[in-house]
């Protein structure tokens, strides 16, 4: 196994990780501020991907496709928040889970009704197509590098937003004390809509960006949603920093596990058995990671201690 | 308004009557539908112990359903291929006997529930939901990657497994078996709810601090409830696999976990008959709406939203006019 | 002097820069009512949590019947004989009044692992639960849904649940909270007799009740015990008047 392969896999892991971060950041923000568990977050990811694929198909512009993903998901987020989610703040978790599960059913089947069951494809923009040669002679797809860059940019943006801006301060205040912030005259329900739309836009962006390297289809959101939950459990709920660290850990573990575990097993097993056992174990690697974190710190790496 | 104690005989009587009517008019497909309803109800009765009494919103009960299914699939697969199941030094012959398969399904699911419970019950609330969902996904991907037992394609079983003294290939007899097991599970639920354990578990859902203050551990109560719950859902999984003569990773899917919760809420959370009514409704909706439109899940979603936002007690709540336990 | 039933020894608890419990040593002796008073924010809740087992101290020990229970959780302390009541009623609101006391009796029996025969078949549990209900005067309400009880009745039920445990010590967190003058007077009378059964560490805002009941009073301010003594001593204490009653010393 060569150093180049390892470097490639690390980059793949980072790329998967930052995309997961886009999902997890929105989820954790929405939970932190509104106390809401949103299963339909994966649907927003899917909607973003479909909006992008559709606009790209119609206009041929990847830039417009991304804008459509952001705007489409944010708009869907606002609609969902105003029509349904708003009634769920302060409701029992079971109600939130059920209502957002119902939203998944409606949005997934609705998308299938409109776009059909066949996957759509979103092409990588020509400017970002093809590999580049990195220092050390690693040839790596430029688009994936761009994804890593985009994810890091969003992370910086979120940090700036929550720490440095007025709306961020309101978000953090809302997180701590919703009555206090309401008493200060901030329109709490508008703030909540904005936070939800922001989370939705991030999910939609992730869906569009990933949609260009995978197919765009109904049901694409939920596996990512569940991975994002694993990220949040590891990182600690409500913590954007935790979401970032957790996302990278999960992305790297998942990618590297699939490559290294079979190799590791080959050291003391027959190759074919090792490949199979390694692949099976690799499929569980991130959940084992999650279990270990749970044993060590039940409220996550950066979660508030219970 | 219907008194709550009349609901159980009414619903079970109706389910039995439909199956017998289907037998009389020779409609085996309808018998299969009632069997499906009975099995889903059994799975949900299991979940209802954790969710309805214990307040544990497990979004990973498909794990146990799937384990039950694979217990059946693997044993029957080895039996029909005349191979043995090799676990290190242990070599186990397959089996086509339902009682043995059930035992394996129940024990396996209970063990898995113990492990998952030990980890996930360290947390509560939203964490618990996310973690159980994640473990469900872990089993799903594991089943997909496990090529020896069909991987993504699953396992087909040629002939339904046997039960001493019965012809399980006859739809009505297999229905009878499932119906009987459902009755047993319902009796178990009712007894357990009225027993000291049920009292303590139900209180642990409402006021864990009080339960601790009287010297009982909510965590242990929940863990035991989770294990019992998982075992029952596992048994249902074995029956479901036998009904279809097929197991696949979709038995582990998060959608299935979600649907089990939906069944309970449709019928009435924490109500004895909630899961049964919910399962019957679900199968009816699936059958009728599914015949009308390919996109019947949209309507299921709309109904579900309506129930969550406007009719918290489910069908039992509507029938009895009484609010149920709050989860 | 009579036996020490419950004690804290040099208890310390910090939250960041705030020292919520600062070297607190108090003791509860057999047969007495020891009242713990202090203004809001004095650290009473934090102290109660450490005594009942919900919160680990950073330093110091909690002793129950001569045993160090600092490392023990709430469940273990309850089993060891500590019964607490909650400031905000912690009752199973969906259940009947009787079921709430049954839960206490069940906790006292230590045998919740029975899955088949109904609670109602256990005459011993029933008797124990009924006795506690009767003692606080709620026998007639046994089959009512707890959520339907008045606030005062809920406070009574809180005490009844603690009684079912047959404890060696009571830890009562503002049992008078929200009671009218009448209810307060009745509960005061009841607690007065209860001290012979097991001593009571009483955290209370109702000064009439405290002065009527307490054998000893400890005053907590800013996490410290600033005074401890008999009712008369505390009434006369200048530091207490300054810190607690807000008078210029």
Domain that holds residue A29: 3-296
Q: Is residue A303 part of a domain?
A: no
Q: Calculate mean pLDDT across residues C175-193.
A: 91
Q: Is residue A304 part of a domain?
A: no
Q: Which of B118, B122, B134, B144 to mutate to test the interface with A (most CBs of A within 10 A)?
A: B134
CA-based radius of gyration for chain C: 18
* Contact residues, chain A, for B60 at CB < 8 Å: none
pLDDT at C61 over 60: yes
* Contact between C115 and B215 using a beta-carbon 8 Å cutoff: no
* Contact residues, chain B, for C100 at CB < 8 Å: 203
Strand, helix or coil for residue C238? helix
**Alpha-carbon gap: B224 to the closest alpha carbon of chain C (Å):** 9
Percent of chain C with pLDDT over 90: 82
For A214-224, b/e burial (b = at least 16 CB within 10 A) is eebbbebbbeb
Maximum CA extent, chain A: 68
Can you tell me the distance from the alpha carbon of C87 to that of C93, in angstroms, rounded to the nearest whole number? 16
Q: Is residue B78 part of a domain?
A: yes
Q: Report the domain count for chain B.
A: 1
Q: Nearest 5°: phi and psi at A224?
A: -70, -40
The pLDDT tens digits for A254-270 are 999 888 888 888 888 88
* Contact residues, chain B, for C110 at CB < 8 Å: 215
pLDDT averaged over chain A?
A: 90
- Considering only CB atoms, C114 lies closest to which of B195, B202, B213, namely B195
Give partners of C (≥3 CB pairs < 8 A): B
Q: Is residue A234 part of a domain?
A: yes
Residues counted in chain A: 306
Contacts of C158 (CB under 8 A, 6+ apart): C85, C86, C89, C90, C91, C175
* Contact residues, chain B, for A104 at CB < 8 Å: 258, 301
- Of A50-59, B30-39, C4-13, C236-245, which range is least confident? C236-245
CA-based radius of gyration for chain B: 19
pLDDT at C21 over 90: yes
Q: Is residue A302 part of a domain?
A: no
Q: Is residue A56 part of a domain?
A: yes
Q: What is the pLDDT of residue B327?
A: 81
- Please state whether at least 3 CB pairs lie below 8 Å between chains A and C: no
- Considering only CB atoms, B146 lies closest to which of A94, A223, A280, namely A280
Residue C1: pLDDT band with limits 50, 70, 90 = low
Q: Which of A280, A289, A301 to mutate to test the interface with B (most CBs of B within 10 A)?
A: A280
- Considering only CB atoms, A93 lies closest to which of B122, B126, B133, namely B126
Q: What is the pLDDT of residue A54?
A: 96
Q: Is residue A305 part of a domain?
A: no
* Contact between B57 and A295 using a beta-carbon 8 Å cutoff: no
Residue A1: pLDDT band with limits 50, 70, 90 = low
Q: What is the pLDDT of residue A11?
A: 94
Of the candidates A144, A159, A52, A36, the one whose C-alpha atom is nearest the C-alpha of residue A94 is A36
- Considering only CB atoms, B305 lies closest to which of A99, A233, A237, namely A99
pLDDT at A173 over 70: no
Q: Is residue B260 part of a domain?
A: no
Q: Is residue A250 part of a domain?
A: yes
* Contact between C116 and B195 using a beta-carbon 8 Å cutoff: yes
Q: What is the pLDDT of residue A306?
A: 40
Can you read off the two tokens belonging to residue B149? 């037992």
- Considering only CB atoms, B261 lies closest to which of A98, A113, A226, namely A98
* Contact residues, chain A, for B269 at CB < 8 Å: 94
Q: Calculate mean pLDDT across residues B69-98.
A: 90
The pLDDT tens digits for B284-301 are 999 999 898 889 999 999
Q: Which residue of C has its CA nearest to B187?
A: C116
Strand, helix or coil for residue B210? helix
pLDDT at B311 over 60: yes
**Do residues B30 and B22 make contact, with C-beta atoms less than 8 angstroms apart?**
yes
pLDDT at A174 over 70: no
pLDDT at B313 over 80: no
Residue scoring higher pLDDT (B147 or B96): B96
DSSP C215-229: SEEEEEETTEEEEEE
- Considering only CB atoms, A232 lies closest to which of B130, B147, B304, namely B130
The pLDDT tens digits for B226-284 are 999 999 999 999 999 999 999 999 999 999 999 999 999 999 998 999 999 999 999 99
For C104-122, b/e burial (b = at least 16 CB within 10 A) is bbbbbbeebebeeebbeeb
* Contact residues, chain C, for B214 at CB < 8 Å: 78, 103-104, 106-108, 161, 164-165
Q: What is the pLDDT of residue B5?
A: 83
Residue A281: pLDDT band with limits 50, 70, 90 = confident
Can you tell me the distance from the alpha carbon of C130 to that of B145, in angstroms, rounded to the nearest whole number? 58
**Alpha-carbon gap: B101 to the closest alpha carbon of chain A (Å):** 24
Which CATH number is A279's domain given?
1.10.3470
Break chain C into its structural domains and give their ranges: 1-81+169-249, 91-166
- β-bridge mates for residue C24, sequence order: C11
Q: Provide the H-helix boundaries in chain B.
A: 4-24, 28-48, 62-80, 98-120, 125-145, 171-194, 196-206, 208-213, 218-244, 254-267, 274-292, 296-310, 314-320
- Please state whether at least 3 CB pairs lie below 8 Å between chains A and B: yes
Residue A175: pLDDT band with limits 50, 70, 90 = low
Q: Report the domain count for chain A.
A: 1
Residue scoring higher pLDDT (C242 or A218): A218
* Contact residues, chain C, for B209 at CB < 8 Å: 54, 74, 86, 90
Q: What is the pLDDT of residue B74?
A: 96
* Contact between A105 and B326 using a beta-carbon 8 Å cutoff: no
ipTM of the complex: 0.92
pLDDT at C42 over 60: yes
Q: Is A277 on the interface with B (CB under 8 A)?
A: no
* Contact between B206 and C165 using a beta-carbon 8 Å cutoff: no
Q: What is the pLDDT of residue B89?
A: 78
* Contact between A95 and B326 using a beta-carbon 8 Å cutoff: no
- Considering only CB atoms, B195 lies closest to which of C78, C83, C115, namely C115
Q: What is the pLDDT of residue B181?
A: 98
- Considering only CB atoms, C75 lies closest to which of B207, B212, B325, namely B212
Of the candidates B236, B150, B151, the one whose C-alpha atom is nearest the C-alpha of residue B186 is B236
Domain that holds residue B25: 12-254
Does the domain made of C1-81+169-249 have the CATH classification 3.40.50.300? yes
Q: How many CB pairs under 8 A join A and B?
A: 123
CA-based radius of gyration for chain A: 20
- β-bridge mates for residue A139, sequence order: A133
Percent of chain B with pLDDT over 70: 100
Residue scoring higher pLDDT (A266 or C99): C99
Residue C249: pLDDT band with limits 50, 70, 90 = very low
Can you tell me the distance from the alpha carbon of C132 to that of C197, in angstroms, rounded to the nearest whole number? 13
DSSP chain A: --HHHHHHHHHHHHHHHHHHHHHHHHHHHHHHHH----TTHHHHHHHHHHHHHHHHHHH--HHHHHHHHHHHHHHHHHHHHHHTGGGGTTS-HHHHHHHHHHHHHHHHHHHHHHH-SSPB--PPPGGG-SEEEETTTEEEEHHHHHHHHHHHHHHHHHHHHHHHSHHHHHHHHHHH-HHHHHHTT--HHHHHHHHHHHHHHHHHHHHHHHHTTS-B-TTSHHHHHHHHHHHHHHH-TT-HHHHHHHHHHHHHHHHHHHHHHHHHHHTTS-HHHHHHHHHHHHHHHHHHHHHHHHHH-TT-SSSPP-
Pairing of β C18-29 and β C4-15: antiparallel
**Do residues B282 and B266 make contact, with C-beta atoms less than 8 angstroms apart?**
yes
Q: Is residue B271 part of a domain?
A: no
Q: Is residue B309 part of a domain?
A: no
* Contact residues, chain B, for A279 at CB < 8 Å: 145
- Of A92-106, A265-279, C208-222, which range is least confident? A265-279
Residue C248: pLDDT band with limits 50, 70, 90 = very low
Q: Calculate mean pLDDT across residues B68-94.
A: 90
């Amino acid at each position: 196994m060569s150093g180049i392969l390892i470097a490639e896999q690390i980059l793949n892991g980072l790329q998967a990780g930052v995309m997961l971060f886009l999902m997890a950041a929105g989820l954790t923000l929405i939970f932190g501020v509104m106390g809401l568990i949103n299963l339909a977050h994966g649907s927003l990811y899917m909607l973003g991907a479909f909006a992008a694929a559709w606009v790209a198909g119609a206009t041929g512009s990847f830039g417009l496709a991304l804008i459509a993903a952001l705007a489409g998901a944010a708009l869907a987020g606002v609609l969902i928040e105003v029509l349904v989610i708003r009634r769920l703040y302060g409701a029992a978790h079971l109600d939130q889970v059920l209502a957002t599960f119902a939203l998944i059913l409606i949005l997934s089947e609705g998308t299938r009704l409109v776009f059909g069951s066949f996957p759509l494809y979103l092409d990588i923009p020509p400017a970002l197509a093809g590999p580049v040669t990195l220092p050390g002679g690693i040839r790596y797809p430029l688009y994936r590098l761009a994804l890593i860059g985009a994810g890091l940019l969003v992370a910086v943006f979120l940090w700036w937003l929550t720490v440095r801006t007025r709306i961020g301060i309101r978000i953090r205040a809302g997180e701590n004390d919703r009555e206090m912030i309401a008493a200060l005259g901030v329109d709490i329900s508008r703030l909540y809509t904005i936070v939800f739309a922001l989370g939705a836009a991030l999910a939609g962006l992730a869906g569009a960006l990933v949609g260009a390297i995978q197919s765009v289809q109904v049901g694409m959101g939920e596996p990512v949603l569940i991975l994002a939950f694993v990220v949040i459990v590891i990182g600690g709920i409500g913590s954007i920093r935790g979401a970032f660290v957790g996302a990278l850990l999960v992305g790297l573990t998942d990618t590297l596990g699939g490559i290294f575990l079979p190799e590791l097993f080959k050291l003391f097993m027959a190759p074919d058995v090792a490949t199979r056992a390694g692949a099976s174990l690799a499929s569980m690697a991130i959940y084992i990671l999650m279990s270990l974190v749970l044993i060590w710190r039940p409220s996550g790496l950066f979660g508030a201690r219970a | 308004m219907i008194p709550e104690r009349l609901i159980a005989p009414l619903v079970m009587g109706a389910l039995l009557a439909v199956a017998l009517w289907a037998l009389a008019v020779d409609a085996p497909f309808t018998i299969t539908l009632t069997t499906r309803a009975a099995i889903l109800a059994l799975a949900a009765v299991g979940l209802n112990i954790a969710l309805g009494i214990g307040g544990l919103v497990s979004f990973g009960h498909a794990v146990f359903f799937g384990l039950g299914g694979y217990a059946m699939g693997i044993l029957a697969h080895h039996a029909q291929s005349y191979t043995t199941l090799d676990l290190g030094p242990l070599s186990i012959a397959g089996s086509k006997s339902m009682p043995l398969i059930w035992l394996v399904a129940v024990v396996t699911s209970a063990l898995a529930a113990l492990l998952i419970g030990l980890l996930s019950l360290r947390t509560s609330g939203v964490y618990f939901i996310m973690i159980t969902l994640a473990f469900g996904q872990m089993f799903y991907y594991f089943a997909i990657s496990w090529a020896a037992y069909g991987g993504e394609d699953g396992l087909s079983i040629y002939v339904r497994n046997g039960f001493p003294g019965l012809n399980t290939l006859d739809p009505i007899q297999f229905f009878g078996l499932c119906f009987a097991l459902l009755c047993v599970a319902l009796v178990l639920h009712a007894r357990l709810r009225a027993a000291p354990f049920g009292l303590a578990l139900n209180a642990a859902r409402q006021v864990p601090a009080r339960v601790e203050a009287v010297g009982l551990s909510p965590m242990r109560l929940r863990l035991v409830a989770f294990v019992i719950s998982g075992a029952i859902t596992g048994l249902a999984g074995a029956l479901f696999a036998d009904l279809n003569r097929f197991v696949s990773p979709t038995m582990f899917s998060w959608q299935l976990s979600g649907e089990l919760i939906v069944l309970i809420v449709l019928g009435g959370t924490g109500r004895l008959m909630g899961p049964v009514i919910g399962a019957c409704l679900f199968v009816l909706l699936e059958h009728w709406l599914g015949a009308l439109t390919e996109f019947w899940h949209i309507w299921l979603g709309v109904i579900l939203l309506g129930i969550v936002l406007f009719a918290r007690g489910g069908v039992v709540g509507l029938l009895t006019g009484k609010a149920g336990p709050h989860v | 002097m009579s036996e020490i039933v419950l004690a804290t020894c040099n208890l310390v608890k910090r939250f960041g820069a705030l020292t919520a419990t600062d070297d607190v040593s108090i003791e509860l002796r057999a047969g007495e009512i020891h009242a713990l008073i202090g203004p809001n924010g004095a650290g009473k809740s934090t102290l109660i949590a450490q005594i009942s087992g919900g919160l680990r101290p950073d330093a110091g020990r909690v002793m129950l019947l001569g045993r160090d229970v600092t490392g023990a959780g709430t469940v273990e302390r309850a089993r060891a004989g500590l019964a607490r009541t909650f400031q905000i009623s912690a009752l199973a609101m969906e259940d009947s009044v009787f079921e709430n006391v049954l839960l206490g009796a069940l906790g006292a029996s230590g045998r919740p692992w029975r899955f088949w025969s109904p609670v109602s078949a256990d005459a011993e549990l029933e008797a124990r639960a009924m006795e506690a209900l009767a003692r606080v005067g709620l026998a007639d309400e046994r089959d009512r849904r707890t959520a339907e009880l008045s606030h005062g009745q809920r406070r009574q039920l809180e005490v009844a649940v603690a009684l079912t445990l047959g404890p060696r010590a009571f830890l009562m967190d503002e049992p008078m909270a929200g009671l009218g003058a009448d209810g307060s007077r009745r509960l005061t009378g009841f607690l007065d007799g209860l001290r012979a059964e097991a001593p009571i560490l009483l955290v209370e805002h109702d000064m009439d009740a405290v002065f009527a009941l307490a054998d000893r009073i400890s005053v907590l301010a800013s996490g410290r015990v600033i005074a401890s003594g008999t009712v008369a001593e505390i009434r006369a204490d200048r530091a207490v008047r300054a810190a607690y009653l807000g008078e210029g010393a």
